[in-house]
Amino acid sequence: MVCNRCIMVVADELKKFGYTPLNITLGEVELGTDLALGEKEIFNQHLKSFGFEIIDDKKSRLIEQIKSSIIAIVQQQNSGLKSNLSDYLSGKLHHDYSYLSNLFSEIEGTTIEKYFIAQKIEKVKELLVYNELTLSEIADQMNYSSVAYLSNQFKKVTGLTPTYFKTIKENKRKPLDEV
Tens of each residue's pLDDT in the chain, 179 residues: 456 777 788 888 788 877 777 777 766 777 777 777 777 778 778 778 877 777 667 888 899 899 989 998 898 866 556 678 999 999 989 999 999 999 999 989 999 999 999 999 999 998 998 888 899 999 988 989 899 999 999 999 999 999 888 888 556 666 666 66
Q: How far apart are the first and last CA of the chain?
A: 13
Residues 71 and 31 in one domain: no
Rounded to the nearest 5 percent, the helix, strand and coil shares of the chain are 60, 5, 35
Q: Is residue 53 part of a domain?
A: no
Q: What is the pTM of this model?
A: 0.69
CATH assignment of the domain containing 133: 1.10.10.60
Domain with 170, as residue range(s), is: 115-174
